[in-house]
Structure 1
Amino acid sequence: MESLSSSPHIAQESIAQDLLEDGCEEEQSSSSSSEDNDSDGSTIRPQYAMIHGRRQSYVNPGARSTSIFSTSLPERGYLSKREKALVREEERSLLRDNHILPPKHPRQRRGSEGLLSSRLGKKLSLSALRKVRSAMDEEAAIDIDEPSEATALLQGDCTLPYGGLDTPKTINRTWDEAVVAGKIHTTWQRETKFLTKTSAPLILTFLLQYSLPVASVFTVGHIGKVELGAVSLASMTASITGYAVYQGLATSLDTLCAQAYGSGRPHLVGLQLQRMLYFLWLITIPIALVWGFGTQILSAVVPEKETAKLAGLYLKVLIAGAPGYAAFESGKRFMQAQGLFSPTMYVLIICAPLNALMNYLFVWVFKWGFIGAPIAVSVTENILPLLLFLYVRFVDGYKCWGGFERRALANWGPMVKLALPGLVMVLAEFLAFEILTLSASWLGTTPLAAQSVLSTIAAITFQIPFPMSVAASTRIANYIGATLSIPAKAAAKVAMIFAVGVGIFNFLLLSLLRTYIPRLFTPDPDVIELVANLLPLCAAFQVFDALACNCNGILRGLGRQEIGGYVGLFAYYVVGLPISFGTGFGLHWGLYGLWSGPAIALGIVATIEGVFIYKTRWEKAVEDAVKRNTMA
Structure 2
Amino acid sequence: MDGGRDIPSQHVTSTSHRDFASSLVRSFTATSPLAQELVARDIAECSSDEEDDRTSRGRRVSHENAFDSEDEDDEGARTPTLYRRLSGVAYGSSRPAIAVPPVSEPVLTQIERRRSRDAERSLLRDNHILPPKHALEKEPGFFSRVYKRVFSTKVPLPETPDEESRVAERQPLLTPVPEDGPTADPLNEVWETAVAEGKIKTTWQREAQTIAVYSRSLIVTFMLQYSINVASIFAVGRIGKLELGAVSLATMTANITCYAPIQGLATSLDTLCAQAFGSGHKHLVGLQLQRMTFFLWLLLLPVAIVWFHAEDILATMIPERRSAELAGMYLRIVIAGTPAMVAFECGKRFVQAQGLFQATTYVLMIAAPVNIILNYTFVWRLGWGFIGAPIAVACTQNLLPIILFLYVRFVDGSQCWGGLSKRAFSNWGPMIRLALPGMIMVAAEWFAFEILTLATGQFGTSYLAAQSIMVTVSATTFQIPFPLSIAGSTRVANLIGAKLVDAAKTSAKVTFVGGLVTGLLNMVIVFAFRYQIPLLFTHDQEVIEIVASVMPVLSVLQVFDGLAAVSHGLLRGLGRQEIGGYANLASYYIVALPISFGLGFGLDWKLAGLWAGVTVGLLVVSCIEYWVIYTADWDRSVKEAEHRNASG
Partner of 1:297: 313
Letter in 2 for 1:93: S
Letter in 2 for 1:96: R
Where do residues 539-550 of structure 1 align in structure 2 (5 Å cutoff)? 539-550=555-566
Separation in structure 1 between the aligned mates of residue 283 and residue 499 of structure 2, nearest angstrom? 23
Q: TM-score, normalised by structure 2?
A: 0.77
Identify the match of residue 594 of structure 2 among 578, 586, 591: 578
Letter in 2 for 1:139: E
Alpha-carbon deviations, 1:479-522, whole Å to 9, x = none?
44555555444433322221111100110010110110111100
Alpha-carbon deviations, 1:208-244, whole Å to 9, x = none?
2111121111111121221111111101101111222
Identify the match of residue 429 of structure 1 among 414, 432, 445: 445
Mapped pair 1:139 → 2:160: no
Letter in 1 for 2:167: D
* Distance change in 2, residues 1:543/1:201 (3 Å): same
In the TM superposition, residue 44 of structure 1 has moved relative to its aligned partner by 4.8
| Identity within the alignment, % | 52
Partner of 1:154: 175
* Distance change in 2, residues 1:32/1:428 (3 Å): closer
Separation in structure 2 between the aligned mates of residue 400 and residue 31 of structure 1, nearest angstrom? 14
Mapped pair 1:493 → 2:524: no
In the TM superposition, residue 465 of structure 1 has moved relative to its aligned partner by 1.3
Contact 1:202–1:342, Cα closer than 8 Å, also in 2: no
- State which drifts further: 358-367 or 495-504: 358-367
Separation in structure 1 between the aligned mates of residue 448 and residue 380 of structure 2, nearest angstrom? 34
Letter in 2 for 1:500: L
Partner of 1:95: 124
Letter in 2 for 1:91: E
Contact 1:477–1:557, Cα closer than 8 Å, also in 2: yes
Partner of 2:388: 372
Identify the match of residue 518 of structure 1 among 531, 534, 543: 534
* Distance change in 2, residues 1:301/1:402 (3 Å): same
Mapped pair 1:18 → 2:49: no
Q: TM-score, normalised by structure 1?
A: 0.79
Tell me the C-alpha RMSD between the 2 structures: 3.9
Separation in structure 2 between the aligned mates of residue 583 and residue 77 of structure 1, nearest angstrom? 51
Separation in structure 2 between the aligned mates of residue 235 and residue 357 of structure 1, nearest angstrom? 20
Identify the match of residue 345 of structure 1 among 361, 373, 385: 361
Mapped pair 1:331 → 2:347: yes
In the TM superposition, residue 268 of structure 1 has moved relative to its aligned partner by 6.4
In the TM superposition, residue 77 of structure 1 has moved relative to its aligned partner by 9.3
* Distance change in 2, residues 1:501/1:293 (3 Å): same
Mapped pair 1:361 → 2:392: no
In the TM superposition, residue 343 of structure 1 has moved relative to its aligned partner by 2.7
Where do residues 140-539 of structure 1 align in structure 2 (5 Å cutoff)? 140=164, 143-144=167-168, 151-155=172-176, 168-172=184-188, 174-175=190-191, 184-254=200-270, 273-398=289-414, 416=432, 419-482=435-498, 484-539=500-555
Stretches of structure 2 that go unaligned for 5 or more consecutive residues are 1-30, 48-52, 88-105, 142-159
Mapped pair 1:594 → 2:604: no
Partner of 1:603: 619
Separation in structure 1 between the aligned mates of residue 466 and residue 124 of structure 2, nearest angstrom? 55
Separation in structure 2 between the aligned mates of residue 180 and residue 365 of structure 1, nearest angstrom? 67
Partner of 1:48: 79
Letter in 2 for 1:41: E
Contact 2:83–2:112, Cα closer than 8 Å, also in 1: no
Aligned residues: 572
Letter in 2 for 1:227: E
In the TM superposition, residue 411 of structure 1 has moved relative to its aligned partner by 5.9
* Distance change in 2, residues 1:385/1:34 (3 Å): closer
In the TM superposition, residue 262 of structure 1 has moved relative to its aligned partner by 7.2
Stretches of structure 1 that go unaligned for 5 or more consecutive residues are 1-9, 58-75, 117-135
Match of 2:334, SS state, is helix
Contact 2:39–2:276, Cα closer than 8 Å, also in 1: no
* Distance change in 2, residues 1:618/1:279 (3 Å): farther
* Distance change in 2, residues 1:593/1:217 (3 Å): same
Contact 2:230–2:472, Cα closer than 8 Å, also in 1: yes
Separation in structure 2 between the aligned mates of residue 271 and residue 608 of structure 1, nearest angstrom? 41
Letter in 1 for 2:329: L
Alpha-carbon deviations, 1:569-625, whole Å to 9, x = none?
211111211111122112222112221111111111111122222233334344444
Contact 1:362–1:376, Cα closer than 8 Å, also in 2: yes
